[in-house]
Chains A and B, each alone.
Chain A
Amino acid sequence: MLQKQVQISLRRPSRAPLRAAALALLGSAAALVMALGVEACGSDSGTSGARVALATRVTLADGALSFETAQGWSVTLTRAVISTGPFYYFDGAPPLVRLEAQPLWQRAAAVLGVRSAFAHPGHYEAGEALGQMLDPWSVDLLAGPADLPMGEGVTGLYRSASFSFTSPPEGPMAGELASHAAVVEGLAERAGEAPRRFRAIADLADVERSAANGYVDGCQFDELDVEGDGLVTVAITPKVWFDLVDFSELAPTADDSAPEFPLDSQPKIAFSLGLAQLSAYEFSFAPAP
């Protein structure tokens, strides 16, 4: 099986030209197709996994409808529609730091669902592609868990994933999205500030500033040895999209209208960067009953 690597490195300005981050999707998909083809032909090379069917679901993370951003804004979402592209699953470890020996309070926090991992820069090597869901789709995150088209893969140790946005949107929310990759509306409040209604819109080009071709690489896939058919769930945490947004740069509105983030404004830039944050997307797998 072809080795797929995503090497996203910081090159010193004075040295060799900067290496552009490149997700070898074509190679990855080809590698996975090869693996699936070998399995389909009944070849037992002993080096590739068995084929598995992977249902796919996108959902809002628990308690993610309302949240406090890192800048102290309490945000309640009233609309969140996104246009998704392919998802890929890999055996490479995500660029996340986990304490190797967690103190008691962090273990307790983990039980309560508070994440103690954080992402760090360096090399993310995706490793071998193990699974995929290739169909573009669109999801209303506030309408409950959304089932996407089926994916497929091979057995193996799943550890990281690529989430993607795409355009033009397809699927049930395509009409609402028009050509956008994400449309999110809500209310942001902070003590001492007038409430801000907002409409955050991002096109694929906005996401691509930080995520090549709209792919957010290195997302965590809750590490598991996938041994058969099952369901891949992507839990999305919109708080991450808004952590960098300074809502105070928006003018308060006298009515209930929700103004768009102005072009080239801090909120617009910050929201676009937020959509490309790998920590906003967490993948997990549950075996079929």
Chain B
Amino acid sequence: MSLSRLTHVFTPASLALLVGTLACGSSDPTGSGGAGRLAFTTWGEAYIEDRIPPDPGDGSGFIDGWSVRYDTFLVNFQNIVVADIRGEMAGTLQSSKLFDNTLAGVKPIVEFDALPAQAWERVSYEIAPVTATTALAEGVTEEQKAMMIAGGYSLYVAGTATRADAGEKRFAWGFAIGTRYDECHSEQDGRDEAGVVVTNNSSVEAQLTTHGDHLFYDRLQASPDPAVPTSLRFDALAAADANDDGEVTLEELNERVLDVRSYDPSGLGAVTHGAFVTSLARTVGHFRGEGECTISGLL
């Protein structure tokens, strides 16, 4: 076996360990042999780069009339693994890199060159707390890294919620959680595709998409009743500003008992709005747009 070449966008010093092996005799639905390139990227989409609007009537915005604009959306990716269905690894990146997805555009994380052209069904990654060895993406500062380390954060979001008749509420929430996203899959050409399919002499992108609206959902899981939607809300969060200083802190949310008339923990606990938002923070990570992964907790 030989190591697959890795074209990476990290500085060499930031790579803790790279292991790449060619899988022997793995499934190859393309039947073409050869090799291709797999590029991991990240993007926050319009909800993070621009704003989350009030609902225009289709459920795509805040149903209680708020809008949210992020000014910081720091997310730390680590331990990206590409493997086939038997667990034979094609490539892995164990080190971590911190991104701010309020910065415009799709951002490169890592590229795997010369991956055998075949299906790589087992793609996984983690959003984990920043450490001293975490690399910084373009536009992320050392001060931000230090803040993340001090708080034990894997995800940090800050922004402003606005409603004409209610003014503004600022927020800055750091989440000291670690989440693993396993068996990522997405819809490609109308069918569900596990992981990615690498084809000969071509390049495929595996985007680790972050969904900034999830933090404002009113349910932790979809309702069993299809007539009951999952909606975006901010009223109860605004009301948690106990000292009325214009900022809603995570501490204030942790003191605010969940408003059960508007929020449903969906069988998953979360007695306070702080616990609710923290649970939702684990759902921020997605795959290739709307694709999803099996979530498990690191901490």
- Give the residues in chain A near B220, CB-CB below 8 Å: 10, 121
Among B59, B222, B271, B292, point to the contact of A21 (Cβ < 8 A): B222
Indicate if B279 sits at the interface (CB-CB under 8 A).
yes
B-chain residues with CB within 8 Å of residue A22 when the two chains form the complex: 224
Q: Which chain A residues in 15-60 approach chain B with CB under 8 Å?
A: 15-22
CB-CB under 8 A for A20 and B295, given A13-B230, A244-B258? no
| Known A-B contacts A12-B290, A20-B224, A70-B271; A121 and B60 likewise in contact (beta carbons under 8 Å) | no
Contact B222 A14 (CB under 8 A): no
CB neighbours (8 Å) of A279 from chain B are 268-269
- In angstroms, how far is the closest chain A Cβ from the Cβ of B287? 12
Given A98-B297, A120-B279: A13 touches B58 (CB 8 Å cut-off):
yes
| Closest B residue by C-beta to A70 | B271
- Residues of A contacting B267 with CB < 8 Å? 119, 210-211, 216-218, 276-278
Q: Give chain A residues whose Cβ lies under 8 Å from the Cβ of B283.
A: 10, 121-122
Contact A122 B219 (CB under 8 A): no
Contact of A20 with B230 in the complex, beta carbons under 8 Å:
no
**Nearest CB in chain A to that of B268: its residue:** A119
Residues 89-112 of chain A, each 1 if its beta carbon lies under 8 Å from chain B, else 0:
000010111111000000000000
Whether the pair A277, B269 counts as a contact (CB closer than 8 A) is yes
Q: Which of A121, A125, A246 contacts B257 (CB 8 A)?
A: A246
A121 in contact with B282 given A13-B231, A93-B296 (CB within 8 Å): yes
Cα–Cα, bound, A96→B219 (Å): 17
| Contact A273 to B264, CB < 8 A, known contacts A8-B221, A21-B224 | yes
Could you tell me which residues of chain B, from 96 to 152, have a CB within 8 Å of some CB in chain A? Answer: none
The answer to the question of B191 belonging to the interface, with a C-beta cut-off of 8 Å to chain A, is no
Return the chain B residue nearest A117 by Cβ: B297
- Select from chain B the residue with minimum beta-carbon distance to A23: B224
B6 within 8 A of A: no
Q: A266–B261 contact, CB under 8 A?
A: yes
Residues on the B chain within 8 Å of A212, using CB: 224-225
Q: How far is the CB of B43 from chain A (nearest CB, A)?
A: 14
| Chain A: interface residue total (CB-CB under 8 A) | 52
B294 — which chain A residues lie within 8 A by C-beta?
122-123, 125
Interfacial chain B residues near A121, Cβ < 8 Å:
220-221, 266, 268, 279-280, 282-283, 295
Contact with A along B194-219 (1 / 0, CB 8 A): 00000000000000000101100101
A210 touches B223 (CB 8 A): yes
- Interchain CA distance A123-B179 in the complex, whole Å: 13
Q: What string of 1s and 0s marks CB contacts (under 8 Å) between A232-248 and chain B?
A: 00000000100110100
Chain A residue nearest to B258 (CB atoms) is: A244
Interface flags for B29-47 (1: CB within 8 Å of A; 0: not) read 0000000000000000000
Q: Which of A8, A17, A119 contacts B269 (CB 8 A)?
A: A119
CB pair A20 B269 closer than 8 Å: no
Q: Which residues of chain A have C-beta atoms less than 8 A from B58's C-beta?
A: 13-14
* In the bound complex, CA of A266 to CA of B294 (Å): 33
B226 at the interface (CB under 8 A from A): yes
A3 within 8 A of partner (CB): no
Tell me, yes or no, whether B17 is within 8 Å of chain A by CB. Answer: no
Question: Cβ of B293 < 8 Å from any Cβ of A?
Answer: yes
Q: Does A258 contact B (CB under 8 A)?
A: no
Give B265 Cβ to nearest chain A Cβ, in Å: 6
- CB of B227 to closest CB in A, whole Å: 9
Indicate if the CB atoms of A11 and B222 lie closer than 8 Å: yes
Which residues of chain B are within 8 angstroms of A269 by Cβ–Cβ distance? Answer: 260-261
Cβ of B234 to closest chain A Cβ, rounded Å: 14
Check if A12 sits within 8 Å of B269, measured CB to CB: no
**Cβ–Cβ < 8 Å partners of A17 in chain B:** 226
Residue of A nearest to B261 (CB): A269
Distance A15 CA – B298 CA, assembled complex (angstroms): 29
Query: Which of A17, A118, A122, A208 has the most C-beta atoms of chain B within 10 angstroms of its own C-beta?
Result: A122
Judged by a CB distance under 8 angstroms, whether A71 is at the interface is: yes
CB of B212, distance to nearest CB on chain A (Å): 10
- Whether A266 lies near B221 (C-beta < 8 A) is no
Contact (A120, B266) CB under 8 Å given A12-B290, A18-B230: no
Asked if A270 CB lies within 8 Å of chain B CBs, one says yes
CB distance A100 to B229 under 8 Å?
Answer: no
- Structural contact, A210 and B261, CB atoms closer than 8 A: no
Is the C-beta of B232 less than 8 angstroms from some C-beta in chain A? yes
Which residue of A99, A123, A278 has the most chain B CB atoms within 10 A of its CB atom? A123
Does B13 make an interface contact (CB < 8 A)? Answer: no
B299 beta carbon closer than 8 Å to chain A: yes
- For B272, the chain A residues whose CB sits under 8 A away are 70
Q: Within the complex, what minimum Cβ distance (angstroms) separates A69 from chain B?
A: 8
Least CB distance, A219 to chain B, in whole angstroms: 9
19 extra interface residue pairs, beta carbon distance < 8 Å, beyond A9-B222, A10-B219, A71-B271: A8-B266, A13-B55, A13-B58, A13-B60, A13-B231, A14-B58, A15-B290, A20-B222, A20-B223, A20-B224, A121-B220, A121-B268, A121-B282, A121-B283, A122-B293, A122-B294, A218-B267, A244-B258, A266-B260
A-B interface, 10 closest residue pairs, ranked by CB to CB distance from nearest? A97-B297, A122-B295, A212-B224, A14-B60, A13-B59, A20-B226, A121-B220, A70-B271, A119-B268, A8-B221
Q: What are 20 A-B pairs at a CB distance below 8 A? A: A9-B292, A11-B290, A13-B61, A13-B213, A14-B61, A15-B290, A18-B229, A20-B225, A96-B297, A97-B296, A120-B295, A121-B266, A121-B282, A208-B224, A208-B225, A209-B228, A244-B257, A266-B260, A269-B261, A273-B265
